[in-house]
Amino acid sequence: MVTSLSATEIDARSVYEREYCARGDMENRIKEQQLQLFADRTSCATMRANELRLWLSSVAYTLLVALRRLGLQHTDFAHAQPETIRLKLLKLGARVLVTVRKVWVSLAESYPYRRQFEQAYANLRRVLDRLASPPASSSVLVVASQ
């Protein structure tokens, strides 16, 4: 590795671990989005349409990363690639029944990732419940002045 930093400024190990490896990790995240979420498809006739495709791919990647971080913790998919999450958890057959008050999603009994799907749903419900209820420490004390 070649750098313009002198050895007195920073040692080689720190440069490698902090700068070089971080750059490689970022390139891997970009490659994930391009190859697994089709961000490299720019086959539309107009630049605006291709830009929209890239935006949608970026939003999809952000949502999958958030799902992995918040919903898939403590499951087999906690460190899974976006394509694995998409193919095994999201791209599935189910029967959806919408009533006035509820939406029922019925998965097949033979769905092999049912336990992980249910765990992800429970994790996301906990996150939503935490966001919906204010923390106890944020209560406001109102004192009447005389």
Residue-wise pLDDT tens digits, 65-78: 899 999 999 889 99
Instruction: Tell me the per-residue pLDDT of 24-50, one tens digit each, with 9 for 90 and over.
Output: 767 777 777 777 777 677 788 898 988
Beta bridge partner(s), residue 76: none
Instruction: Provide the 3-class DSSP secondary structure of residue 96.
Output: strand
What secondary structure does DSSP assign to 24-62, as a single string? HHHHHHHHHHHHHS-TT---SSSHHHHHHHHHHHHHHHH
* pTM for the predicted model, two decimal places: 0.65
As a whole number, mean pLDDT of residues 92-106 equals 91
The pLDDT value given to residue 1:
61
Calculate the average pLDDT of the chain: 81
Q: Kindly indicate the confidence band of residue 142, based on its pLDDT and cuts at 50, 70 and 90.
A: low
The greatest distance separating any two alpha carbons of the chain, rounded to the nearest whole angstrom, comes to 72
